[in-house]
Every structure is written in structure tokens, then in C-alpha cells.
Amino acid sequence: MASPVFPEIERVLFTEEQVAARIREVAGEISAKYRGRDLKLIAVLKGAVFFLTELARAIEIPVKIDFLAISSFGNGAPGMVRIAKDLDDPIQDEDVLLVEDIVDTGFTTRFLLQTLAGRAPRSIGICTLLDRTVRRIVQVPIDFRCFEIPDRFVVGCGLDYKQHYRNLGSIAVLKQN
């Protein structure tokens, strides 16, 4: 769907309808697992915000939400991240679900998991929109995942290329230059 609006798109992996349907399925699994509990969804700005809002609307139990932001240091070496904006509230004794846009090497997710686990939540789980297991370097336990993707850079549904394409409704592969 190369278009004047999105000229760098090579092909669509998952259409907007497929993404919406799959998010509803996973939201159903989450609702079933956490029914009767007090769930807090936590997402990292900015990529996972799109997924979190769609997921939260499809979850059928009450949820709270909170956000944090991270930034890289050390010349962008993998895993060298720090918290740039922290959560608004403590998570002690809460059931926390970390909502990720993509788990790639796993370094970012592991950092987040360790950071949040240190704050004594009642439980902590991981839900990711995309999982690229072929590039995994550190193992992280993923509880819910919408799609496994091949070893290509993707955009859409919050994922960016140089801050663009986050508002693309589908998940698409960028042209290789």
C-alpha cells in the first residue's frame, strides 16, 4: 500500500481489522485471568499508548492505568536505559500488567520488569502487541501476546520510524533502503 501519505510502506502484515480483533481476544483472556482483582495497566510512552488504550477499552473488568517514559544512554547500547518520567503512583500490592508495543531483544522489557518488581507489586505480568522472538537476546516471560512478527522493522499501531507512522492503523513493514 505504498501511497503518497505513507510512501515508505512495503506491505501490510496485519490490517486494522485483524489488529482490533486480536486485541479483543487478548483482552478477553486478560479479563478472565484478572476477574475479581484490581488490575493496573502500565505502558511506556510513547509507542505502547495506542495499544494500551485499545486494550483497556476491550477489557471487561475495572482497570487503572499509569505511564512511564524511558530514555537511552551510553550511545544507545542495548539495555542501557533509564527512567525519564516515572509512574504517577506506587504499585505496591497491586496486580500490574506491563503493556508493551514490541519485545525485540528483550533488554527494555527486562529493565522495566526488574524496575517494577522492585516496588513490591502483588503480581506482575507482561502483555505485548508484537513479539519478535527471532531477535531475542535476554529471555522475558510474556503472559499475553497479540502477534509474532518476522525479522523486519515494522511501523503502525504506535510503533514509529523517526517518530512517524504511529497513527497508522495497520502493522506494516517498511521498505528496506
The residue (of 34 and 165) whose beta carbon lies closer to ligand IMP is 165
- DSSP string covering the chain, please? ---SSSTTEEEEEE-HHHHHHHHHHHHHHHHHHHTTS-EEEEEEETTTHHHHHHHHHH--S-EEEEEEEEEE-STT-TT-EEEEE--SS--TT-EEEEEEEEESSSHHHHHHHHHHHTT--SEEEEEEEEE-GGG-SS----SEEEEE--SS-EEBTTB-BTTBSTT-SSEEEEPP-
Rounded Cα–Cα distance for residues 72 and 70 (Å): 7
For residue 60, the minimal CB distance to ligand IMP (Å) is 27
- Active-site choice (104, 143, 151, 160): 104
- Please indicate whether residue 151 is annotated as part of the active site: no
Q: Closer to ligand IMP by CB, 47 or 121: give it.
A: 47
Among 159, 168, 171, 172, binds ligand IMP (CB under 6 A): 159
Q: How far is the CB of 19 from ligand IMP (least distance, A)?
A: 15
Of 61 and 143, which has the nearer Cβ to ligand IMP? 143
Which of 39, 43, 108, 112 touches ligand IMP by CB under 6 A? 108
Judged by DSSP in three states, 3 sits in coil
Binding of residue 170 to ligand IMP (CB under 6 A): no
Q: Using CB under 6 A, which of 18, 153, 166, 169 touches ligand IMP? A: 153
Residue from 30, 34, 47, 144 in contact with ligand IMP (CB under 6 A): 47
Contacts to ligand IMP by CB under 6 A: 47, 101-109, 153-155, 159-160
Residue numbers annotated as active site: 104
